[in-house]
Amino acid sequence: MDQPNQQIQSELESFREQWRAEVSARSRNSASSQQQQQQRTTSTQGGSSSTITTTVNRPPKRNEFTHRKSGSKTIHQLEDEEEYYQAQHFDELDTSKSVTGQKLGRHDGDSTKDKDQEPQTALDFYEKAVEREASGKLGDSLQLYRKAFRMDDNVDQSYRNKHFPGRWSKPGQTNPSNAPVTVPNTAHHSLDGGAPALSLPDLISSFSSLKIERAPPECEGVAAPPCPISELPDEILIHILRDVAIADVGDFVRLARVCKRLAYLVATEDQIWRRVCLGSEFGFGGMHYHWQRGISWEPLDITQELADSDEIFTLEELARRRQEESRATTNLLLRGLYSSSWLTMFRRRPRVRFNGCYISTVNYIRPGQASAHQVTWNSPVHIVTYYRYLRLFRDGTAISLLTTDEPAHVVHHLTRDNVSLHRGGSGPHYLPSAVMGAALKGRWRLSSAADKNDDDNASGTAGTGASLVDAEGDLYVETEGVGKYIYRMELTFRGTGKAASINRNNNNRLTWKGFWSYNRQTDDWAEFPLKSGKPFFFSRVKSYGLGE
């Protein structure tokens, strides 16, 4: 009897030991998990700069998966010197799409945060929505706007305070001049002992006696680094700046940020701006006020060129006479409208830009059909976006393209070689440039006094500066059409943003004046309605170079 009892007692004792070990292990695991959770909570509440990512074993929701996909796209934020409008810049070829390509997005941001980062706050969602709306993606922007306002009802005010400080303040409050809070106004604040504020011309003139200063020494007791450009005479320095302006006038203007001496030379050196205006690189020497090519890019017949002339001379002589006529018009406008300032003429006189293309983004709403298997209170709608591209070349030819593909995947393929490659849809369909199969060949020219009607010419005002200003400013583009038709677009130069109310010609925007089709067989004209016609905005593409 004793032996079975001892066996039972030993078995009970071993069971108790196993049970104690299991309970102690469970208590240790529970304590460690609570400690980790407390540490995670503390790091989150403390605003640590490190990001803690936890993995949850659950399938993503549909809207969450869609948001992650859309948030991973790269947004390039269009272009520049305007207050409300910023032009797009296309620096590198986007190879993210393998077949037919799609877009950039607008514009133009100088933000330092990562564009690929998923929005977290209401302001992030609002900024992303503004970018999508600017690039024409109204459907995506609407969803982002809703998310932003659900998180913060006053997110629009936060956006204004961040990007446009002082612009929305009411007059007569804290700042009597209604100036931006970041820029003090010397008219109401005491600066430099209460000295009056200088106008911009006087401020530039005050830089005339300054010299280019060398950089300060890297540390105390060490000689300053040499600055050879500060020792150059003005004649050589101006020659260097002229070469920079001929190579890229944008780089020449940006030299004004280097120092006050260079700012003075950029703003006042009229001989450099004269060379820029008269040259063919960026100025009016490269403008065409007569047709230079046929619609299909074929050379013009000399008999057509001399049809309205009683004199007999060669095509080279005709080109020389037209160049002299253009130079005489330029000199007349310089002395009259532009106050003998070549800089003012370059900024305000209408001209075509060749180092980029003009893009028109069109959005319209199309009613959809309700599902037969689902009860809805209202019918769905579709937001449709398409783009018009217009690239003008120095020889008077043009390319016009209407497509739903987005600019970042189109502008780098908008070349004459790709038009010939995909002519009639014969090119390879798997190339990124296959979108050029729908491109149309064309030609362009600017308006001149010869385009004015007979009444203006009969009134005797055709030779005055005012009549020349009225005659200039329009762009005529003729392109191929479907079959027997030819398309004709008439556009006019307008300013963008705040400059539009001051100067109507700053060459960044083209607005519609008319759009027609011409039947070559019946000699009939028909006008297209411009109900959904949106203006073209210029976007620089660095891969174009000077637009040769």
DSSP collapsed to 3 states, 378-407: CCCEEEEEEEEEEEECCCCEEEEEEECCCH
358 found inside a domain: yes
Query: pTM higher than 0.75, yes or no?
Result: no
One domain for residues 274 and 297: no
Q: How far is Cα 399 from Cα 442, in angstroms, rounded to an integer?
A: 6
CA dist 157 and 160 (Å) reads: 5
Same domain for 248 and 334: no
Domain boundary residue, one of 227, 244, 278 = 278
pLDDT computed for residue 116 by the predictor: 55
* DSSP classification of residue 61: P
Describe the chain by its helix, strand, coil percentages, rounded to 5: 40, 15, 45
Q: Roughly how many angstroms between the first and final C-alpha of the chain, as a whole number?
A: 112
Residues 426 and 526 in one domain: yes
Same structural domain for residues 134 and 208?
A: no
Number of domain units in the chain = 4
Residue 545 sits in the same domain as residue 410: yes
Give me the phi and psi of 262, to 5 degrees please: -70, -35
User: Cα(244)–Cα(256) distance, rounded to whole angstroms?
Assistant: 13
* 447 shares a domain with 346: yes
The answer to the question of residue 189 being in a domain is no
Residues 312 and 269 in one domain: no
SS3 call for 337: coil
CA atoms of 87 and 94, how far apart (whole Å): 18
The answer on 317 and 274 residing in a single domain is no
Q: Is the dihedral of CA 135, 139, 142, 144 positive or negative?
A: negative
Residue 190 placed within a domain: no
CA distance 98 to 435: 12
Question: In angstroms, what CA-CA distances link 233 with 212, 238, 240, 268, 270?
Answer: 11, 9, 11, 17, 18
CA distance 427 to 435: 10
Contact assessment for residue 213 and residue 231, using Cβ atoms and an 8 Å cutoff: no
Considering the domain architecture, whether residues 246 and 345 belong to the same structural domain is answered as no
User: What Å distances lie between residue 218 and 157, 227, 231, 260, 390, CA to CA?
Assistant: 44, 14, 21, 22, 50
Identify the pLDDT of residue 93.
61
Q: Which of 137, 163, 189 is the last residue of a domain?
A: 163
Give the model's pLDDT for residue 197.
Answer: 76
What is the predicted pLDDT for the residue at 352?
A: 93
Per-residue pLDDT at 44: 42
pLDDT score recorded for residue 80 = 36
Residue 356 CA from chain centroid, whole number: 10
Residues of the chain with pLDDT under 50: 1, 40-85, 95-115, 171-193, 454-455, 457-464, 499-504
| pLDDT in the model for residue 195 | 55
Residue 490 lies in a domain: yes
pLDDT tens-digit map of 293-340: 899 999 887 665 665 555 666 767 777 888 888 888 888 888 888 888
In a domain, 46, yes or no: no
Whether residue 423 sits in one domain with residue 484: yes
Same domain, 239 and 336: no
Q: Quick check: is 537 in a domain?
A: yes
Kind and range of the H or E run holding 470: helix 465-471
Domain that holds residue 263: 199-278
168 lies in some domain: no
Domain assignment present for 270: yes
| pLDDT attached to residue 396 | 92
The per-residue pLDDT for range 447-479, each reduced to its tens digit, is 987 776 544 544 444 444 556 777 788 999 999
One domain for residues 307 and 403 = yes
Task: Tell me which of 138, 163, 188 is where a domain ends.
Answer: 163
**Which residue has tokens 């963008």?**
496
CA–CA gap between residue 403 and residue 387 (Å, rounded): 6
